[in-house]
Amino acid sequence: MKQNIIGILIFTMILTSCSNKVVADFEIMNNTEFNIDSLKIEPNISDVGKYISLKKGEKAEYKSDMTTIAKTDGAYQISFLVNGINKTQVFGYYTNGYPLERITKIKIEKDTILIDQVFEKY
């Protein structure tokens, strides 16, 4: 009986460890007077991502799937279209394909992008 319980526990651990998804979380606020279109945030080595739009004054959550990227160090890249102008900025840091921060809060202002990375307290 004890061997069956141990076997079931090991089997369950193997199944749950196989579906380990790596996601970087972002909170984005549009503080401009314009709508933002084609916004995406991805590791700077990735060109695949989902696009979202934000109305002026709108806040949204964004999740960047990092499960399939190479286990290397790098930075994030935000790109978007506002008032007909394409804007891109590299920011932050991840290591071995994993985000260091719990969440990144991004405020898009008229003339700048404010980035606040929130880390866990240890």
- Report how many domains make up the chain: 1
pLDDT attached to residue 93 = 94
Burial of residue 76, with CB atoms counted within 10 A of its CB: 0-12 exposed, 13-18 middle, 19 or more buried: buried
- Residue 46 has a pLDDT of 64
57-106, pLDDT tens digit by residue? Answer: 999 999 999 988 889 999 999 999 998 999 999 999 999 999 999 999 99
The residue ranking higher by pLDDT, 11 or 117, is 117
Write the pLDDT tens digit of every residue in 18-48.
557 899 999 999 999 999 999 999 987 666 6
Determine the Cα–Cα distance for residues 56 and 52; give it in Å rounded to an integer.
13
Q: Is the pLDDT of residue 56 over 90?
A: yes
Does residue 15 belong to any structural domain of this protein? no
Entry pTM: 0.79
Q: What is the CATH number of the domain that holds 109?
A: 2.60.40.2890
Q: Is residue 14 part of a domain?
A: no
Q: Which residue has the higher pLDDT, 50 or 116?
A: 116
Residue type, 60: A
Q: Which domain holds residue 97?
A: 21-118
Q: Are 24 and 94 in contact (CB under 8 A)?
A: yes
Residue 25 falls within a domain, yes or no? yes
Token pair 């700077």 is found at 44
* 63 within some domain: yes
SS3 for 6? helix
**pLDDT of amino acid 8:** 75
**50 located within any domain:** yes
DSSP codes joined into one string, 13-76: HHHHHHT---EEEEEEEE-SSS-EEEEEEEETT------EEE-TT-EEEEEEE-TTS-SS-EEE
Whether 13 is in a domain gets the answer no
